[in-house]
């Protein structure tokens, strides 16, 4: 056998180990009740904003959109940091990490696989909350002009379908657990997220007044209240979702990736509570960096913090999509490279810290 064949075999084994550990981390994380409760809290909080909205803040749907992105960032941070703490620090404390590394699995492979699994949890959470944000913005009161009505309309049908989707996901998860002995946490976590995705897809068949596009065609589209030119001819499917939110949500996902790498690195030395506290501090300093760290002397504590902490304001651009604004996809690509650099630095530091850790 040639040396090149041996290197290819080692790489293939490492990739299989990474995939297996990441998948086990994902399943273990989402079966925890706290992960499901975090997702449920974020989705329900986002969907309740249109119900208790008493001020428009100068733009229809803005409060729901900004609240959804805020829930995505804050609840996602708690989920990522808590999951990293339980899966890395918890396995080190229980001794399962030492057993896995004796298989043998390299420490770098183990830590990178854990980070990948934690990010998969955060990404699935992000998908569910993004769908809830799009639905909450659509469900908010909007001023529409129709041949039969002119005034503010709340999309009650969409909000009712969202609530029904969450309830159906919980009932299906309970039935799978009772009859098939399936894990309730896994079914509920996946079901709640997918229910919002399915409702978002279903909203393309009707307008805010409840008129079905397959039955009313262009006449239903004329009353949708969306800021666009209405299509001529027959309309069968017309999603009235503000897709300009997607680039802003992708930036939040990049921020969650940075926190995933940071939490995974910290969990090699710190407990779950300490990891969560440090990540929360980084979030506050990162969002307030312009006012606290700008202009600080290089050889000072503030200057050191400005150099080490990621600038999270690069990932928080919810104001850029206000009043019809858009985020350029080129900026999204540049932010992805910045987030990838931050993740690489944090994971390298974590691998160095984990290499010297005594696993007992």
pLDDT of residue 233: 53
Q: In tens digits, what is the pLDDT along the chain, a chain of 360 residues?
A: 444 555 556 667 778 888 888 898 999 999 989 999 999 999 999 999 988 876 666 677 788 899 999 999 999 999 999 999 888 888 888 877 777 776 677 888 889 999 999 999 999 999 999 999 999 999 887 777 666 666 677 788 999 999 999 999 999 999 999 998 888 989 999 999 999 999 999 998 888 777 787 666 555 565 555 544 455 555 677 778 889 999 999 999 999 999 999 999 999 988 989 999 999 988 887 777 665 555 555 555 555 555 567 778 889 988 888 888 899 999 999 999 999 999 999 999 999 988 877 766
* 347, two tokens: 């994971």
d(CA 312, CA 309): 9
**pTM of structure:** 0.88
Asked if 293 and 271 count as a contact pair (C-beta separation under 8 A), the reply is: no
327-347 per-residue burial string, b: 16 or more CB within 10 A, e: under 16? beeeebeebeebbeebbebbb
* 72: its two tokens: 């995505």
pLDDT digits 0-9 by tens, 264-274: 999 998 898 99
Strand partners, 151: 144
pLDDT at 2 (0 to 100): 45
Dig out the tokens for 339 from the structure. 């987030």
Dist. CA 249–CA 130, nearest whole Å: 7
| Secondary structure string (H, E, C) spanning 179-207 | HHCCCHHHHHHHHHHHHHHHHHHHHHHEC
pLDDT score recorded for residue 211: 76
How wide is the angle at C-alpha 61 spanned by C-alphas 55 and 67, nearest 5°?
A: 85
Residue 264: φ, ψ to 5°:
-65, -40
pLDDT value of position 346: 94
List, for residues 105-134, the tens digit of each pLDDT value. Answer: 788 888 999 999 999 999 999 999 999 999
What is the helix (H) or strand (E) element at residue 95, kind and residue range?
none
Task: Provide the β-strand partners of residue 153.
Answer: 142
Tens digits of residue pLDDT in 224-236 = 555 444 555 556 7
Radius of gyration of the chain, Cα coordinates, nearest whole angstrom = 23
Coil vs helix vs strand at 144: strand
Residue-level pLDDT at 89: 87
Rounded to whole angstroms, the Cα distance separating 320 from 316 reads 9
**Distance (Å, whole) CA 306 – CA 93:** 33
């Amino acid at each position: 056998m040639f040396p090149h064949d041996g290197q290819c075999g080692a790489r293939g084994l490492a990739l299989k180990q990474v995939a297996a550990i990441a998948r086990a981390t994902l399943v273990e994380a989402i079966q925890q009740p706290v992960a499901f409760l975090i997702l449920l809290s974020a989705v329900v909080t986002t969907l309740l904003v249109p119900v208790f909205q008493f001020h428009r803040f100068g733009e229809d749907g803005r409060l729901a959109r900004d609240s959804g992105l805020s829930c995505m960032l804050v609840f996602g941070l708690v989920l990522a940091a808590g999951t990293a703490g339980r899966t890395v620090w918890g396995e080190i404390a229980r001794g399962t990490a030492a057993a896995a590394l004796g298989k043998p699995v390299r420490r770098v492979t183990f830590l990178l696989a854990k980070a990948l699994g934690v990010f998969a949890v955060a990404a699935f959470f992000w998908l569910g909350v993004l769908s809830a944000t799009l639905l909450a913005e659509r469900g908010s009161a909007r001023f529409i002009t129709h041949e039969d009505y002119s005034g503010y309309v709340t999309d009650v049908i969409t909000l009712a379908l969202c609530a029904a989707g969450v309830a159906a996901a919980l009932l299906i998860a309970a039935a799978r657990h009772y009859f098939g002995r399936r894990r309730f946490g896994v079914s509920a976590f996946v079901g709640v997220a997918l229910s919002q995705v399915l409702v978002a897809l279903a909203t393309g068949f009707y307008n805010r007044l409840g008129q079905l596009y397959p039955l009313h065609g262009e006449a239903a589209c004329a009353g949708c209240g969306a800021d666009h030119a209405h299509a001529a001819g027959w309309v069968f499917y017309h999603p009235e979702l503000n897709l300009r939110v997607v680039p802003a949500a992708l930036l939040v996902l990049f921020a969650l990736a940075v926190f995933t790498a940071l939490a995974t690195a910290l969990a090699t030395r710190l407990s779950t509570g300490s990891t969560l506290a440090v990540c929360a501090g980084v979030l506050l300093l990162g969002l307030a960096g312009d006012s606290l760290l700008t202009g600080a002397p290089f050889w000072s504590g503030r200057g050191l913090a400005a150099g080490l902490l990621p600038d999270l304001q690069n990932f928080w651009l919810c104001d850029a999509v206000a009043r019809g604004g858009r985020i350029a996809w080129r900026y999204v690509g540049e932010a992805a490279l910045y987030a990838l650099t931050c993740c690489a630095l944090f994971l390298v530091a974590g691998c160095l810290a984990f290499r010297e850790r005594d696993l007992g």
